[in-house]
Every structure is written in C-alpha cells, then in structure tokens.
Amino acid sequence: MGKEYGEALYELARDEHVLEELHGELTEIGALIKAEPDFIKLLSSRAIERDTRVKVVDDTFGGRAHVFIVNFMKLLVEKERVDCLEDCVKWFHQRYNDDLGIVEAYVTSAVELTENDREALRQKLEQMSGRKVALIASVDKALIGGVRVEMDGRRYDNTIQNKLGRLRQRMAQGL
C-alpha cells in the first residue's frame, strides 16, 4: 500500500514542480517518525476520533510542511492507512533517487566526519560509482578508527576492526 500512495504523491510533486521541496520535507518527516514512533500509534489509534487525529496532523504540520504533505497525511488518517506512512516516504525517496541518478552511500565511522572529510569521500564515491552520491553518515565508536561504506549493494570496509581481523587471519594461517 505504501508504494501506491507514495507513487501518487511522487507523481503529484513531479507534475507540480515541487519535487525537491517535498523530498526535503519528507526526509525530515521520516526522521521524526523514526525518532517518535508513538506519533504513528497516536494517528492510527481508533480509540481517538478520526476527526481529532486529522486535527492533530493539521496542528502538527499545518503551516510547517507543504500543503500536499499535510493533505497526504490527513488522507492516510482518513483511510486508516497511517501505518504505511513510513513505506510511502521510502518509496518517494527511492523514486526521487532513481529519477535523478542518485545512489545512497551509508558511511559509518568511529568519529563524526568533518564537512571536508564528507565532501572528499562523496567526491571519491562519485568517481567510483559514476553517479551522484548522497552520504548518510553515522558514528559507531566500536570501530576504533577508519570508515565503512555500503553503497549499491557493496561494502567497502577500511576500519581498524577489519584490518585487525585480516591480520589475525593471516597470523592464524601462518602458524
């Protein structure tokens, strides 16, 4: 169901020339939903009148998000399909990336990358992939050092953990 609703919103945004704006806002809304999963439970709860849940969407996003997104979310509440909002956002995001030739690179590092490091890595990944790259960075202190990149179904692991693991294997094979 998320694919169908997400596709409809994508086509509307494309036809009305607000694709970039809606993509940015949906990215933020997707992050908010992940951070506050109880919000979807609230909007899905049949213990609360449907009109009240629609008003919650209006009060939360009205004037802050594009009217297409607000109306879209209200439609999901009215159709009792708020549970597929996250899938709708994912589908919209996927279509956007596909249409614009963007590949996502999930970068994990031991420390927060500086803006210069992010830009240098993005440029290197664009050279490797031949496509525009959107970096999605996260920090994992357990890595000790280095960077791990997952992009286009491939994993590039230049972490200290990985290097130590390879060293351990070589030493075990040599004994």
pLDDT at position 175? 60
pLDDT at position 12? 96
Could you count the other beta carbons within 10 Å of the beta carbon of residue 133? 22
How far apart CA 148 and CA 126 sit, in angstroms, is: 16
Low-confidence ranges of the chain (pLDDT < 50): none
**Cβ–Cβ < 8 Å for 103, 128:** no
Q: Which residues contact 51 (CB under 8 A, 6 or more apart)?
A: none
pLDDT at position 142? 84
pLDDT at position 62? 92
pTM given for the model = 0.75
pLDDT at position 160? 77
Could you count the other beta carbons within 10 Å of the beta carbon of residue 135? 16
pLDDT at position 158? 81
pLDDT at position 51? 96
pLDDT at position 162? 74
Dig out the tokens for 118 from the structure: 């992010």
Domains, the chain, ranges and CATH? 2-98 (1.10.520.20), 102-174 (no CATH)
Residues 81-91 have pLDDT tens digits of: 999 999 999 99
Neighbouring-strand partners of residue 105: 135, 151
